[in-house]
Amino acid sequence: MELELRGITKRFGAFTANDQISLKVEPGQIHSLLGENGAGKSTLMNVLFGLLRPDEGEILIDGVVTSITDSGEAVRRGIGMVHQHFMLVPVFSVTENVVLGFEPTKSLNRVDYRQATEDIHRLSRQFNLDVDPDAIVENLPVGLQQRVEILKALSHDAELLILDEPTAVLTPQEIDSLMEIMRSLAAAGKSILFITHKLKEVKAVADVITVIRQGRVVGTAEPSASESELASLMVGRDVRLTVEKTPYDPGDEVLEVRDLVVLDDRGLVAVNGVSLDVRAGEVLALAGVQGNGQTEFVEALVGMRPVQSGTITLHGRDITNLTPRQALDVGLGHIPEDRQRDGLVLTMSVADNLVLNTPRRAPFARHGTRNLSAVNENAQRLVRDFDIRTTSIQEPASSLSGGNQQKVIVARELSRSLEFLVASQPTRGLDVGSIEYVHRQIIEHRNRGNGSLIVSSELDEVLALGDRIAVMYEGRISGVVDPTASRESIGLLMAGHTTETASV
Amino acid sequence: MSETSPARPSLWVRYTSSSPLVVTFFALVLGLAFGALVIVTTTPAVLDAWRAIFHGWNGLPHALNLTFNNVGAAYRSMFTGSVVDPQGLWHSITTGNGWTNTLTPISETLTYATPLVIASIGVGIAFQTGLFNIGANGQAVTGGIAGAVVGSMLHMPEIVHLPLTLLAGIAGGMICGAVPGVLKAYTGAHEVIVTLMFNYVTYAFLLFMVLSTPFQQPGQQNDIGRTMDHSAQLAPLFGTSSGLRVSYGVFVAAAVVVFAWWLLNRSSLGFDFRVTGANPSAARASGINARSVIVVVFLISGGLAGLAGVVQVASTTHYVDGGFLIGNAGIGFTAITVALLGRNRPMGIVWSALLFAALGVGGRNMQATTGIPLDLATVIQSAIVLMVATPVLVKEIFRLRSAETTTVQLATTGWGS
Ligand SMILES: Nc1ncnc2c1ncn2[C@@H]1O[C@H](COP(=O)(O)OP(=O)(O)OP(=O)(O)O)[C@@H](O)[C@H]1O
Ligand SMILES: [Mg+2]
């Protein structure tokens, strides 16, 4: 499909999220959109998919002006969209999810499952999208769920596929296979609009790159451009892609974890006897493929999941099995993995979200009455310091772009005085400029002599931040290495080899 | 695009797409229109006139005329019965006489609205926390009993007696609200079921109290409790001789409104409530203790319902009987709808309680003067609530530009959004 956007403008109140955006996607092309957090990429895609109505501009499909009034219309026009946040029904099977809303029917309006299953088999063969049509979605790892989303998007003969940050939650292996899939789709003549913040991915698959800043197209780039060129085009200034760290000079042990055992939601052992130390002035990066117990480990640290056995001490004080409140009070900072579930109240204002876990601390409240001017001042300051893009601190958090929502949490946690920082995927969904800033903040926190535990499935991040790198595999620590270790050796540890066998 | 909206939507469009007030207003219009339809279809004379037009169009003017007369009379009597009769008002202004008659409708509306506001705010606070207090009526009943017991069986000067009576009402409601709260917090028992069932428990308790305890009115065999001392009553605002029932209870209600506004918008506790209501997972991660929030919310919600009960007794009948807050008088049930209509906000609740009170009081006048049953008021109330609960429908009917709320919500749930 040939798609052309001409002069698309979308306003939210007085704020212009898309300003006269024009771009063209050729058949068989992978067109990548690059842009800072809040640049307006998702807004543009939502306009294209009929979820938002543009205030100005037109959409041309194969040269014909087309009005897309809702997502059903978009689907009928051959557009498929994969939202970053999965829109799947967890308890339904793959087949049921794929046909949902467009079920093929037999007489008496019965769903024709055989037909549906056949369709899925055909599609998955055609594009190498291996999934079991009968599997229940909630039992699938994220990478496979992503495939189901793509199948769903393709199942209505989509000729244009929108992928809005599909790689944010995927493991490196899953990303590789997604890129393979994208290439084979493009080879089959499908057009793809691909949004990501990871410049490596853009360079690897994109045919054309359009850069958007503050709602406007600021230029196009060739995939051959260097990462730093792309980064500065995107952010409008030079970005350091590596963090500058002062030399590693660790102090005493701050956090000591001994033989920790934690269960997951189904009651199975997720963390199986983990022992770790984090010292003052040190960042310990916890690497590993998602789903190897990192989530449960972190939740146990911050009091959100009971510890079965083992101990956690902070500055020699036993903090095993604290309540979340107590964990906050002893000075644990927490950047949760699932920001919309645990980190934000989307319906509440940015200002309120910035004091979400400290509403009672001075100066935000006195004698049980909130001091709203202090809350607002705090918000004003953090919005400025952390460059949170919002039209007003009174806007609900839901109106922020994905990356800016993440910045709200990072700003909140790093701005209060912490004894120890626990961060899960702290830069997930952030643009390069914001990643630079957040990394600097974490390093400053370390330089003040505090300990941090950073969980990340992003190898680059692990290598950039970690003073030491612990790798978790199936609930155990498979090895602890220096950041000078090779990517390959860390990769082997992540696959379950132990330090001895992995040392290269 | 051929059908894109103008670059800068007009003020009216932006207002209508955002303000819930507009939706409520149109819902009211629709509710009244629906009520008119009910009047037409249930008044035989009007219905016959409409049937007649099947035999010839010349019957149409008559049918229309009859319709307007009937509907007009009904709604006029509703208005004059609940707000003011313009003729009477003019008479009073020009002659200075008959103020009692002129002010009675509004006084009655306020009398009915007073406990309703208090109970609805209690329900609204629970709603904002994501908790359904369906037991407000039972809590109001226990509050009423507790207040009536203290008000009638203890004797002391007014300066202590009245506050003590009100406090007893609050305590009664709190006790009754605490049970479902504690059960929910510590055993996970669903509050809807427990509070709903507690309504029956309290009703049985009421009958027991007024039939078989020293609280029964001396010398009575009937289900009636003792009468409260004067020192425990909420006196009429304009004195007993004024003939107007509106009492000092309105100040109690006003205090509750101020308290609730502070609690929800300015207090740390209310912040916890709202966070819990909007996102329980984030509440937990932010160190909010869900159990204590649940218990405290039920104490407050129950306490306010209890206060509503005691205000009701202390300002109107001054005793409780076996029919206390039963059926149509069940303010605790009405409170649920009033809270919904007022979007759980204190000032919204004030307006919706006044509307409901006016419809109820006016409905009684309508029944008396036109013979149209009081239930029509309930029909209108229900229609309004239905409409408000489905803003999309109202916007569609009146072609208000629909705010892109649903899609935007969709569009902002993701990592990449
Ligand atoms: N419903 C809304 N009301 C007000 N402003 C909004 C709304 N939706 C989006 N915005 C604003 O529009 C801007 C663009 O948001 P958008 O989600 O398109 O950004 P993005 O480029 O996808 O960013 P990210 O990379 O962080 O996902 C943001 O500044 C956001 O605050
Ligand atoms: Mg986005």
Which ligand neighbours the alpha carbon of A41 most closely? 1
In a domain, residue A473? The reply is yes
Tokens representing residue B288 in the block: 């909010």
Return the bridge partners of B385, or none: none
User: Is the model's pLDDT at A500 over the cut of 70?
Assistant: no
User: What ipTM is given for this predicted complex?
Assistant: 0.85
Amino acid at the residue A289: V
The reply to whether A409 and A426 lie within a common domain is no
The reply to whether A230 and A365 lie within a common domain is no
Q: Which residue of A has its CA nearest to B271?
A: A359
What is the C-alpha separation between A69 and B404, in angstroms, rounded? 12
In a domain, residue A336? The reply is no
Q: Encode pLDDT of B42-86 as tens digits.
A: 888 888 888 888 888 888 888 899 999 999 999 999 999 999 999
Confidence of residue B392 (pLDDT cuts 50, 70, 90): low
Burial class (CB in 10 A: 0-12, 13-18, 19+), B175: middle
The reply to whether A364 and A326 lie within a common domain is no
Which residues of chain B are at the A interface, by a Cβ-Cβ cutoff of 8 Å? Answer: 1-7, 14, 262, 266-269, 271-272, 274-275, 278-279, 281-282, 284-289, 404, 407-417
In this structure, of A381-390, B129-138, B388-397, the range with the lowest mean pLDDT score is B388-397
The reply to whether A219 and A310 lie within a common domain is no
What is the C-alpha separation between A446 and A452, in angstroms, rounded? 7
What is the C-alpha separation between A256 and A243, in angstroms, rounded? 27
* Choice between B319 and A114, residue whose per-residue pLDDT is larger: B319
CA A381 to chain centre: 25
Which ligand neighbours the alpha carbon of B18 most closely? 1
Angle at B400 between CA B395 and CA B406, to 5 degrees: 60
B408 lines ligand 1 (CB under 6 A): yes
User: Is the model's pLDDT at A106 over the cut of 90?
Assistant: no
Q: Which atom of ligand 1 is nearest to the CA of A391?
A: 31
Q: Encode pLDDT of A394-453 as tens digits.
A: 999 999 988 899 999 999 999 998 999 999 999 988 888 889 889 998 999 999 999 999
User: Can you give the pLDDT at residue A133?
Assistant: 85
The reply to whether A421 and A469 lie within a common domain is yes
What is the C-alpha separation between B176 and B146, in angstroms, rounded? 11
Q: Select from A399, A415, A431 the last residue of a domain.
A: A415
Return the bridge partners of A6, or none: A58
Run of H or E including A379:
helix A372-385
What is the C-alpha separation between B308 and B261, in angstroms, rounded? 17
| Listed residue (A289, A308, A245) closest to A467, CA to CA | A245
Nearest to B275 among A168, A356, A399 (CB): A356
Task: Spell out the residues 6+ positions from residue A104 whose beta carbon is closer than 8 angstroms to its own.
Answer: A111, A112, A115, A116, A119
The reply to whether A327 and A435 lie within a common domain is yes
Q: Encode pLDDT of A453-469 as tens digits.
A: 999 988 889 999 999 99
The reply to whether A83 and A165 lie within a common domain is yes
Q: Encode pLDDT of A12-28 as tens digits.
A: 988 999 999 999 999 99
What is the C-alpha separation between A16 and A40, in angstroms, rounded? 9
A42, A195, A202, A390: residue to mutate for ligand 1 pocket, most atoms within 8 A of CB: A42
A322 secondary structure, DSSP code: -
Run of H or E including A231:
helix A227-235
Q: How many CB atoms lie within 10 A of CB A501?
A: 12
Q: What percent of chain A has pLDDT over 90?
A: 57
What is the C-alpha separation between A71 and A102, in angstroms, rounded? 12
**List of domains in chain B:** 110-357 (1.10.3470)
Q: What percent of chain B has pLDDT over 90?
A: 67
Q: Which atom of ligand 1 is nearest to the CA of A390?
A: 31
Q: Long-range contacts of range A360-364, CB-CB < 8 Å, 24 or more positions apart?
A: A360/B268, A361/A416
Q: How far, in Å, from the CA of A355 to the mean position of ligand 2?
A: 24
Total structural domains in chain A? 3
Cα-based distances in Å from B134 to A38, B137, B195, B268, B351 = 43, 8, 6, 26, 21
User: Can you give the pLDDT at residue A299?
Assistant: 94
Q: Select from A375, A396, A415 the last residue of a domain.
A: A415
User: Can you give the pLDDT at residue A503?
Assistant: 46
User: Can you give the pLDDT at residue B12?
Assistant: 57
What is the C-alpha separation between B417 and A44, in angstroms, rounded? 10
The reply to whether A219 and A319 lie within a common domain is no
Cβ atoms of residues B172 and B146 within 8 Å? yes
The reply to whether A248 and A231 lie within a common domain is no
| Listed residue (A303, A315, A312, A308) closest to A276, CA to CA | A312
B403 secondary structure, DSSP code: P
The reply to whether A219 and A249 lie within a common domain is no
Q: How far, in Å, from the CA of B405 to the mean position of ligand 1?
A: 14
What is the C-alpha separation between A433 and A168, in angstroms, rounded? 16
**Chain A to chain B Cβ contacts (< 8 Å):** 145
Query: Which residues between 109 and 148 in chain A have a beta carbon less than 8 angstroms from any beta carbon of chain B?
Result: none
What is the C-alpha separation between B98 and B244, in angstroms, rounded? 12
The reply to whether A119 and A262 lie within a common domain is no
In a domain, residue A205? The reply is yes
Q: What is the pTM of this model?
A: 0.86
Cβ atoms of residues A193 and A81 within 8 Å? no
Average pLDDT for residues A195-216, to the nearest whole number?
92
Q: Select from A235, A251, A278 the last residue of a domain.
A: A235
Question: Do the strands A369-370 and A365-366 form a parallel or antiparallel pair, or are they unpaired?
Answer: antiparallel
CATH code for the domain in which residue A26 is found: 3.40.50.300
* Ranges of H-type helices in A85-188: 94-99, 113-127, 142-154, 172-187
Report cis status (omega within 30 of 0) of the bond before A363: yes
Return the bridge partners of A15, or none: A12
Q: Encode pLDDT of A254-299 as tens digits.
A: 999 999 999 988 889 999 999 999 999 999 999 988 788 999 999 9
Residue A276 domain boundaries: 240-331+417-504
* Choice between B124 and B47, residue whose per-residue pLDDT is larger: B124
User: Is the model's pLDDT at A60 over the cut of 60?
Assistant: yes
A41 lines ligand 1 (CB under 6 A): yes
Which residues of chain A lie closer than 8 angstroms to B278, CB-CB? Answer: 345-348
User: Is the model's pLDDT at B397 over the cut of 80?
Assistant: no
CB contact (8 A) between residue A324 and residue B284: yes
| Listed residue (B227, B228, B223, B229) closest to B209, CA to CA | B223
In a domain, residue A340? The reply is no
Amino acid at the residue A256: E
The reply to whether A102 and A44 lie within a common domain is yes
Tokens representing residue A39 in the block: 């640049």
Q: How far, in Å, from the CA of A41 to the mean position of ligand 2?
A: 6
In a domain, residue A341? The reply is no
Q: Which residue of B has its CA nearest to A197?
A: B416
Tokens representing residue A422 in the block: 């626990």
